[in-house]
A and B are shown apart, each in its own frame.
Chain A
Amino acid sequence: SQQGEEDPQALSIQEGENATMNCSYKTSINNLQWYRQNSGRGLVHLILIRSNEREKHSGRLRVTLDTSKKSSSLLITASRAADTASYFCATEYYGQNFVFGPGTRLSVLP
């Protein structure tokens, strides 16, 4: 069964605004990871958050994890046109390989 489900499927914002994407999953996890993909290219690893962590920051990125709700959110602050991409969450659990959600397509308009 599919683990990660991103929400919304698509998001359009103006440069300088914040973008928030959510990911929900169904079973226990070791960790959850966020990736960015630019227009059919490879996935770029953004951040890994462990199941015992609640929040992590990396530059303009802030990730939260709520294991009780089985959900995570990715916040991109002060967005730039270069942030335009698809964003995926992937969950890792013991005995399973990464399972990816369908992704959120973010468009940052200049």
Chain B
Amino acid sequence: KAGVTQTPRYLIKTRGQQVTLSCSPISGHRSVSWYQQTPGQGLQFLFEYFSETQRNKGNFPGRFSGRQFSNSRSEMNVSTLELGDSALYLCASSLVSTGGKGNTEAFFGQGTRLTVV
């Protein structure tokens, strides 16, 4: 079974530009969550999509947005990039939405390393 695939693996962008990252979850998984990882802040939750609907959103500015397609693939967009957006962006795939009444194992992709210069 193929794992979680994130593309691209590396990106270098200039301040003010926008960027789109992609995540293909494990086949059959309907939930995709996005996390930002930086040395200073650690792993921080951005948002979760389940069945094309945003289920939850973390404490990030509106420049960070996402969507999910009918095949469960998800994209994350960051507009008007700032230097502080440089980070490893990770997506996690799970069968059901996290934070439900059950127990959800989440599987992560290799991440996209974004560098803003």
Contacts and interface: CB of A to CB of B under 8 A. Distances in A.
* Size bin of chain B's contact surface: 20 to 34
Interface stretch (A15-23, A36-44, A60-68, A72-80): A36-44
Interface string B89-117: 01010000011111111111111010000
B87 to A, nearest CB: 11
Interface in B26-79: 33, 35, 42-43, 45, 48, 56, 58
Nearest to A99: B45
Contacts of A97: 33, 45, 48, 56, 58, 98-99
Contacts of A31: 103
B88 interface: yes
B42 A45 contact: no
Interface of B: 4, 6, 33, 35, 42-43, 45, 48, 56, 58, 88, 90, 92, 98-111, 113
